[in-house]
Amino acid sequence: MIDPVTLSIIDGRLVQLADEMDATLYRSAFNPIIAEARDACHGLYDAETGDTLVQGACGLPIFVGAMAFAVRAVIEKAAKEGDLAPGDGYIFNDPTIGGTHLNDFRLVRPVFRGDKLFCWIASAGHWLDIGGNVPGGYNPSATESFQEGVCIPPVKLLRAGVMNTDILAILVANSRVPDSNWGDLNAQIGALELGEARLHGLLDEYGDATIAAAFEIFSGRAEAIMRRAIGGLPDGHYGFEDVLDNDGITDEKLTIALDLKIAGERMVLDFSRSSPPTAGPVNISYATAIAACYVALKHIFPEVPANAGCLRPITFVIPPSTILAATAPRPMAGYTETILRLIGVVMGALAQADPARATAAPFGTINALSMSGTRADGSRWVMFSFFGGGLGGNPESDGLNHANNPISTATIPPVEILEAAYPVLFRQWALRPDSAGAGTHRGGLGAIYEIETRTDAMVSLLGDRGTVPPFGVAGGGAAAVNVFSWDAGQGRRSPELVSKVTGVFLPAGHRLRLETPGGGGWGDPAARDAQAVARDKALGYCS
């Protein structure tokens, strides 16, 4: 047995270890999406199963949830080849076996104690450009993954600490901005080296057996807390569904549907009624769907520790006949839009079981914007960024204004960083009036971004919520929809598919405009406090 004080210290040390890896990557990556937006994560994983043992407080939960599948893919490869050794390291970005989309590169390395494998340590980070038809990788018109970028299966990048330069050469040759990717790769390797050193220090201090036992205790604790949380909900069947605007190819709505069953301390999440895999890039893999469910459940039950134990009381039904379990070579660049809808339907179904947990829909799109061109000195530039909007009202408060989506702990890249790194000027970065859903507790406001390019640029957008607004709950109103437009000197234009477009040419000195949705409202708007209404009007939040 491990006494409670020692167990608490070990828990804190392990989380700190993951946090320090996160911080190391953020401070050394070249790419602002990692360095500033923190689109990355680190964790420790079981030696035999790949199950999540530890994650940091800052890493993206969607990455951590999918990473267990990534580590299992490496475990299978290492077992097949039979040459695993200390100092080895694997790299891959295949979204169908534990990735999310091609831009997200996984680095996985074993941690040995003597000649015995103790656990795995892993890093994920969003690289800026990995080839494909559209700079930045978010190709809204892709009909197969080959149009989104280069796909790297699990390969051994490091062998006994020595880098395989042939693989490095392939990575360099398949990017428009290889220096950025090179910097991110080295930053991820450095973070893993630090994490392994810290873990060895912890193991030396407490002993391998003690730390292994602590992992079992933490996992069992997460399972027990999740069982109690589910057991506190009324048994029954609950359903909820929401839609995506389209797949970027055909202007038809796509359904994400959940049938939820609660029985005692177990839960079944059945997504069988969801739309089939699509031609366009809003498919997701089975691993990503599980990870999105994990994120939704963590929002609803924040008291549950974040490791694999929390998923043991849950059965997932996600058939390959749905958009949520697509396989290669289906395009998946726009996975973010689909997981946002998936998270929303999980929260919506559980809100029926427990109205006290009901939260209105957030703005529900990352608005993945890619801009690219050539500077005056002939060097190429590729800017990718995501943008904020309003979160949903809830039983306790209004939704947050200009927040990030509830899929991660990432932050919206600061305007100063984007303007310093790329030849763009933000002519407007403001809250969007009248964008929030009305309610006793209103939704948060969306935002207005107006961007002027200082060189000729090509522009692509992969977003959503352009036709069906974020919903309100408990009588609350819906928010405003997403609006994208640009003026290239021939009048203002908008995408035919509303929220998705590629191949927009924007001459130097011209602007694009993005008006993001707010969050849905919670409760009857007539019951809103009069002083709160007056304050909203005084601040210009509503007309």
pLDDT along the chain (543 residues), means of 10: 92 94 95 91 95 84 82 96 96 91 96 97 95 94 96 96 95 95 96 97 97 96 95 96 97 98 97 98 96 90 88 96 96 96 93 86 95 95 95 95 83 92 97 98 98 97 96 94 95 95 96 98 96 96 92
All residues at 6 or more sequence positions from 110 whose CB lies less than 8 Å from its CB, including other chains: 47, 78, 84, 86, 88, 117, 119, 120, 121
Cβ(190)–Cβ(89) below 8 Å: no
218 and 367 fall within a common domain: no
Is residue 323 assigned to a domain? no
Instruction: Judge residue 487's burial from the number of C-beta atoms within 10 Å of its C-beta, 0-12 exposed, 13-18 middle, 19 or more buried.
Output: middle
| Six token digits for residue 480 | 């405003």
Whole-number Å distance between alpha carbons of 398 and 479 = 13
Is residue 253 assigned to a domain? no
pLDDT at site 12? 94
Is residue 153 assigned to a domain? yes
Is residue 311 assigned to a domain? no
pLDDT at site 408? 66
Is residue 335 assigned to a domain? no
Cβ(489)–Cβ(504) below 8 Å: no
With H, G, I as helix, E, B as strand and everything else as coil, classify residue 243.
strand
Expressed in angstroms, the distance from the first to the final Cα of the chain is 63
Closest CA to 313 of 352, 280, 259, 266: 266
Whole-number Å distance between alpha carbons of 71 and 117 = 14
Instruction: Judge residue 79's burial from the number of C-beta atoms within 10 Å of its C-beta, 0-12 exposed, 13-18 middle, 19 or more buried.
Output: exposed
Is residue 344 assigned to a domain? no
**Where does a domain end: 203, 223, 243?**
223
> Domain residues for 86?
4-223
pLDDT at site 73? 95
SS (H, E, C) 290-352: HHHHHHHHHHHCCCCCCCHHHHCCEEEECCCCCHHHCCCCCCCCCHHHHHHHHHHHHHHHHHH
Domain count, the chain: 2
Whole-number Å distance between alpha carbons of 453 and 263 = 56
The residues that bridge with 262 in the sheet, in sequence order, are: 236, 267
Is residue 295 assigned to a domain? no
Closest CA to 317 of 261, 263, 270: 270
pTM above 0.85, yes or no: yes
**Where does a domain end: 183, 200, 223?**
223
Q: CA-CA distances (angstroms) from residue 421 to 30, 129, 266?
A: 10, 15, 49
Is residue 337 assigned to a domain? no
pLDDT at site 372? 97
Backbone phi, then psi, for 53, in 5-degree steps? -100, -45
**Where does a domain end: 223, 249, 284?**
223
